[in-house]
């Protein structure tokens, strides 16, 4: 079955890099996503990676995918206080269905 | 371009009542998915609609239902509300093609059952 796991908490100092990790179990995952959720808000799509890629960079965000180990990470460079939020990784398996399976979310706290 | 619009933002209902939530997807998007978010269970998939047809369904009881209209707007209904139905209900909008990757979420409807 599908299962996505993340560590619950991460604290970093402003200006440092943050690395949020995620593992998944479904080897048929085609796309893997990172979403951000601020208090009282919905989910904001940050970036995604296709399963045949191993890295994707988008401004301050770098996604690394190790398909062999089913490990996904999101690196945020020069982390700012505005980056404090919950970050969810999610997977989508092959087929036409748009079902996403989410991890439990990582609460990122950026300390001044 | 307007984003995904969910109404209402907040709802308080009494146990045993029913509730209807609405989601208007991004213009041109024909797929709408619904998710339930609770502190205990996290984000769980409810169902997906595409071109007025339910294409996929999660593991929820039959009290949870939905539909989609010809303009792609979707509603979900929960009947015989239980305290455990208190949650943030999120809808996601996606474009038509199966190769399309992105799902955009609305702000959610916060349902409280008392």
What pLDDT band is residue B97 in, cutting at 50, 70 and 90? low
Average model confidence (pLDDT) across chain B? 93
Tell me the chain B residues in contact with residue A101 when contact means C-beta distances shorter than 8 Å: 45
Encode pLDDT of A33-64 as tens digits.
999 999 989 999 999 998 888 999 999 999 99
Which of B42, B55, B101 shows the shortest C-beta gap to A97? B55
Encode pLDDT of A12-35 as tens digits.
999 999 999 999 987 777 789 999
Residue window 70-109, chain A: list those with CB within 8 Å of chain B. 88, 90, 92, 95-105
Is the Cβ pair A45, B105 closer than 8 Å?
A: yes
Q: Where are the alpha helices (DSSP H) in B10-108?
A: none
Bigger pLDDT: A78 vs B99: A78
How much is the pLDDT for B99? Answer: 57
How much is the pLDDT for B98? Answer: 56
Rounded to the nearest angstrom, the minimum Cα separation between A34 and chain B is 11
Is the Cβ pair A96, B108 closer than 8 Å?
A: no
Is the Cβ pair B55, A104 closer than 8 Å?
A: no
Tell me the chain B residues in contact with residue A96 when contact means C-beta distances shorter than 8 Å: 55, 98
User: Mapped to the 3 state alphabet, what secondary structure does B13-24 carry?
Assistant: ECCCCCEEEEEE
Encode pLDDT of B66-90 as tens digits.
999 999 999 999 999 999 999 999 9
Whole-number Å distance between alpha carbons of B53 and A42: 25
How much is the pLDDT for B74? Answer: 98
Among the listed residues A52, A27, A37, A11, the one whose alpha carbon sits nearest the alpha carbon of residue A89: A37
């Amino acid at each position: 079955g599908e299962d996505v796991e993340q560590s619950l908490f991460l604290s970093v100092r402003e200006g440092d890099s943050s690395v949020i990790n995620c593992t998944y179990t479904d080897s048929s995952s085609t796309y893997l996503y990172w979403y951000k959720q601020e208090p009282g808000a919905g989910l904001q799509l940050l970036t995604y990676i296709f399963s045949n890629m191993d890295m994707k960079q988008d401004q301050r965000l770098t996604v690394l995918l190790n398909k062999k180990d089913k490990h996904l990470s999101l690196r945020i460079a020069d982390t700012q206080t505005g980056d404090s939020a919950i970050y969810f990784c999610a997977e989508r398996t092959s087929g036409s269905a748009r079902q996403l399976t989410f991890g439990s979310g990582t609460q990122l706290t950026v300390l001044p | 371009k307007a984003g995904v619009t969910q109404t209402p933002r907040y709802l308080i209902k009494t146990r045993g009542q029913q509730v209807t939530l609405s989601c208007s997807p991004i213009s041109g998007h024909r797929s709408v998915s619904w998710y339930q978010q609770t502190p205990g269970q996290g984000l769980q998939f409810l169902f997906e609609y595409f071109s007025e047809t339910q294409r996929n369904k999660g593991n929820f009881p039959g009290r949870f239902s939905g539909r989609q209209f010809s303009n792609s707007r979707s509603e979900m209904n929960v009947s015989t509300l239980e305290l455990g139905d208190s949650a943030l209900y999120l809808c996601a909008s996606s474009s038509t093609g199966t190769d399309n990757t992105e799902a955009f979420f609305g702000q959610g409807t916060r349902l409280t059952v008392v």
